[in-house]
Structure 1
Amino acid sequence: MKRILLIEDDDTIVYGISELLKEEGYDAAAVSTLREAFCMDIRDFCLILLDLGLPDGEGWDFLRKMEKDKGTPVIILTAREDEKDIIKGLDMGADDYVTKPFKAGILLSRIRAVLRRRREVEESGAVLRCGNVVLDKNRTLVMDGDREIVLTAGEFRLLMYLMENKNSTLTRNALLRYLWDSSGDYVNDNTLTVTVKRLREKLGEQSGRIIRTVRGIGYKLEDEND
């Protein structure tokens, strides 16, 4: 049975989500403080649902720790709906960002999407190439020649999807559906723009040649060698 860790201090929300997860066949465990969360072995869980406002600190502190261990995906679950918080969470490596109040069906869909994406990465041994950029799905590693490019989870997924569909134009809606498995109604469109911008910055000079903006449509990753 898949185990999900819920880091949340609101007893009502904990009870509701725990029952929801159990009905869907998940084993739910919950802690209410950062101190308890830091004591958990996150390798025991397939997914973490993280609240940002906790009694003894901020969820950002836990997410910062998770940056060093990218094995377990994280969905931020919070009442904070400011664009800056959403961008910060995704940039720090969260796999998704869900604001409260939320509908049960949407939360379950997001959970399934994150777990599906993680499973696809784990099961695929493919190495993708575009110019000098090499992406290893199994090792969650991106190299530009001898230089390792350190990406957040969101940036990695975006680059992987672009490389899987290189030389094809991908619409913004298609990218949003893939990255967050939802329509633009649930994810601020600016998040995609910021993620592309930061991905280009990390790729460096190479990015100007491979990630092209198709005005009014989306993005296209071009390989000069093809």
Structure 2
Amino acid sequence: MQLMIVEDDDAVATALADAVRASGHDALRVSRGSDALLQHHSAQMILLDLGLPDLDGLEVLRKLRLVTNAPIIILSARNDERSVVRGLRLGADDYLIKPIGLAVLLARIDAVARRAFVQTQGVSDLQVGPLHIDIEKRAAFLQGHELALTAKEFDLLALLANHAGSVVTREQILDSLWGDAFVAVSRSLDVHLTGLRAKLNTPGMIVNVRGVGYRLETPGP
């Protein structure tokens, strides 16, 4: 498993990386919250310190949860109840208070992985009612008729279809299609979304959840 260690203390980061590698995992270390937000794609689990030099760790956690479902374990010296509660409510899978024994940490990593590990990749076809998407051929069909989609429109439709019935946030879309949830490309998303809706020509199929994101509903027969 690929773990990202978000820790600005070199000694602590080295000890963590050595421990997880010794247990058979791969480790990527970053020291800044902004780096974690840009490089999270490669992480299957994230170990997150809260005392980072550029961003507060809880803010990093909040932003990560907009774009990734990868399990996140907080490792922090903050042991006050408010920080622990906020961390868990913002989406952390576990909250461990420093200093923590490495054997205990590895056991908690295994426990979190067992209950929260997210399945990724490997999907070759998506079926949402009469909408069929062939991921490998990058082709989409509605009621048997192929849709003439641009590359970005196809990626957008596939993303929404993979979460059909659930809301996909604007941040998740921007992160998946443009590689950064926090760059100013929202207007580009609006343009591609308008084009996709026109080609689907099915009112109500893509629902705008105001202030959050979009949801793909199963179209009628």
Give the TM-score normalised by the residue count of structure 2.
Answer: 0.53
Residue in 1 that maps onto 2:24:
25
Q: 1:122 Cα deviation (Å)?
A: 4.7
Separation in 2 of the partners of 1:37 and 1:46? 13
Separation in 2 of the partners of 1:43 and 1:55? 22
Residue in 1 that maps onto 2:45:
47
2:6–2:29 contact (8 Å) kept in structure 1: yes
Separation in 2 of the partners of 1:48 and 1:117? 15
Find the residue that maps to 2:21 and give its secondary structure.
helix
Q: Which runs of 4+ in 1 moved over 2 A?
A: none
Residue in 1 that maps onto 2:97:
99
Q: 1:69 Cα deviation (Å)?
A: 2.5
Residue in 2 that maps onto 1:75:
73
What are structure 1's unaligned runs of at least 5 residues? Answer: 124-137, 143-147, 149-226
The residue identity in structure 1 corresponding to 2:80 is D
Separation in 2 of the partners of 1:70 and 1:22? 23
Q: 1:105 Cα deviation (Å)?
A: 1.1
Find the residue that maps to 2:70 and give its secondary structure.
coil
Q: 1:67 Cα deviation (Å)?
A: 2.2
Question: Structure 1 vs Structure 2: percent identity of aligned residues?
Answer: 40
**Matched residue count:** 127
Find the residue that maps to 1:67 and give its secondary structure.
helix
2:37–2:64 contact (8 Å) kept in structure 1: no
Separation in 1 of the partners of 2:71 and 2:113? 8
Residue in 2 that maps onto 1:14:
13
Residue in 2 that maps onto 1:38:
37
Separation in 2 of the partners of 1:76 and 1:115? 14
Separation in 2 of the partners of 1:37 and 1:95? 17
Separation in 1 of the partners of 2:109 and 2:34? 25
Residues 103-182 of structure 1: matches in 2 within 5 Å? 103-119=101-117, 122=119
Q: 1:57 Cα deviation (Å)?
A: 1.9
Residue in 1 that maps onto 2:4:
5
- Of residues 73, 88, 91, the one that matches 1:90 is 88
The residue identity in structure 2 corresponding to 1:43 is H
1:43–1:72 contact (8 Å) kept in structure 2: no
The residue identity in structure 2 corresponding to 1:87 is V
2:31–2:52 contact (8 Å) kept in structure 1: yes
The residue identity in structure 2 corresponding to 1:85 is S
In angstroms, what is the RMSD of aligned CA positions? 2.5
Answering whether residue 53 of structure 2 is matched by residue 63 of structure 1, we say no
What are structure 2's unaligned runs of at least 5 residues? Answer: 121-161, 168-221
Find the residue that maps to 1:4 and give its secondary structure.
strand
Please say which structure displays the higher CA radius of gyration.
2
The residue identity in structure 2 corresponding to 1:11 is D
